[in-house]
Amino acid sequence: MAYERYRAYAPASIGNVSLGFDLLGAALRPVDGSPLGDEVEVLPADSYSLQIQGPFAHKLPDNPDENILTHCYHHFINRLAERGGKVAPCAMVLYKNLPIGSGLGSSASSVVAALHGLNAYYGEPFNADEMLLMMGELEGQISGSVHYDNVAPCYLGGLVLMAGQVGNIALSLPVFDDWYWVICYSGIKVSTAEARAILPKMITMTDTLTFGRQLGVFVHALHSGNRKLAASVMQDVIAEPHRKRLLPGFDAARDYATGQGALAFGISGSGPTVFAVSEQLDRANRIRDWLAQHYVQNADGFSHVCQLDLHGSSVKKV
């Protein structure tokens, strides 16, 4: 079989979306058309190698064996070999466009782009469900526990609820296509594993009931097209109260966004990125500009007005 070169793109994502800890995730697409996600090229080679380029390449470990892409490669090749036959090696190039430890699903984006690219390169041996299972497993190796709220929206696109059932891991939810999602990465690093370690092991009865009620009401509101009801339950009673102390300027940012009429405001994944939802583009732009000026801490930070990326990851022959 003659192998050809493929390039895959996997978008940034918001894990949790405030109200759905580990269960809800959304894929992002900046409205100005700029890409916001990692890219991976898979190409013919006599032996495996990994090259890393892009604005955040220097933030990754120098040793390719410590890069999640190398784990993706070996995992994929082993799974393929289990299906019989000899598997020819390939090389990969990672364009690391997303900051590490940002709350934008950076490792998930690398994992999804790598596995999507490998699957195309080897002739689509795995179906979408098998791919998603692999993506969750690989992402879990890095963040300390298997959670799909970044890999699933990144791969499938849109707003996704984790169903946790074999053959039905993730459910795509209806979305409001006139919502703008402002995101701002402050530029500091928050390790997902550490941000998970500070959470309490037990949740109170009151918070458990609030969590269940909010998630149920939110899904109902999406299906019935009730924007106001959906926005009214976008609050995080599980992680935000404990994590916000890791995020300098969080309360001021929330106050500003709320003052601008934001429908919701919260931490993207485990932070430090925050997000605000607005129905008006001019207000979304104002929130973006304010966050860029006041929430960003260093030269690595940025802010974008996004909509949901309904397509998810993609791959093409190059």
Ligand X SMILES: N[C@@H](CCO)C(=O)O
Judged by CB under 6 A, the number of residues near ligand X is 15
Residue 112 or 120: the one with the smaller Cβ distance to ligand X is 112
Please report whether residue 147 would count as binding ligand X according to CB under 6 A.
yes
Cis peptide before 272 (omega within 30 of 0): yes
Q: Which does 121 bind (CB under 5 to 8 A by kind): ligand ATP, ligand X, none?
A: none
Please report whether residue 144 would count as binding ligand X according to CB under 6 A.
no
Q: Which does 239 bind (CB under 5 to 8 A by kind): ligand ATP, ligand X, none?
A: ligand X
Least distance from ligand X to the Cβ atom of residue 115, Å: 18
Flag whether 107 is marked binding.
Answer: yes
> What mask, x for binding ligand X by CB under 6 A, covers residues 98 to 117?
-----x-x------------
Kindly tell me which residue out of 38, 39, 139, 149 binds ligand X, with binding defined by CB under 6 A: 149
Flag whether 106 is marked binding.
Answer: yes
Residue 23 or 296: the one with the smaller Cβ distance to ligand X is 23
Distance of alpha carbon 249 from its chain centroid, rounded? 23
Please report whether residue 269 would count as binding ligand X according to CB under 6 A.
yes
Least distance from ligand X to the Cβ atom of residue 48, Å: 28
Flag whether 99 is marked binding.
Answer: yes
Kindly tell me which residue out of 8, 16, 73, 161 binds ligand X, with binding defined by CB under 6 A: 16
> What mask, x for binding ligand X by CB under 6 A, covers residues 186 to 215?
------x--xx-------------------
Paired sense of beta strands 90-95 and 50-53, if any: parallel
Quick one: DSSP state of residue 57?
A: G
Query: Which positions from 31 through 50 interact with ligand X, judged by CB under 6 A?
Result: none
Phi, psi of 207 (to 5 degrees): -70, -35
SS3 track for the chain: CCCCCEEEEEECEEECCCCCCCCEEEEEEECCCCCCEEEEEEEECCCCCEEEECCCHHHCCCCHHHCHHHHHHHHHHHHHHHCCCCCCCEEEEEECCCCCCCCCCHHHHHHHHHHHHHHHHCCCCCCHHHHHHHHHHHHHHHHCCCCCCCHHHHHHCCEEEEEEECCEEEEEECCCCCCEEEEEECCCCCCHHHHHHCCCCCCCHHHHHHHHHHHHHHHHHHHHCCHHHHHHCCCCCCCHHHHHHHCCCHHHHHHHHHHCCCCEEEECCCCCCEEEEECCHHHHHHHHHHHHHHCCCCCCCEEEEEEECCCCCEEEEC
Q: Which does 22 bind (CB under 5 to 8 A by kind): ligand ATP, ligand X, none?
A: ligand X
Flag whether 18 is marked binding.
Answer: no
Q: Which does 101 bind (CB under 5 to 8 A by kind): ligand X, ligand ATP, none?
A: ligand ATP
Flag whether 267 is marked binding.
Answer: no
3-state secondary structure of 85: coil
Least distance from ligand ATP to the Cβ atom of residue 181, Å: 16
Residue 26 or 68: the one with the smaller Cβ distance to ligand ATP is 68
Flag whether 101 is marked binding.
Answer: yes
Residues annotated within the binding site for ATP are: 99-109
Q: Which residues bind ligand X (CB under 6 A)?
A: 15-16, 21-22, 103, 105, 147, 149-150, 192, 195-196, 239, 269-270
Residues annotated within the binding site are: 99-109
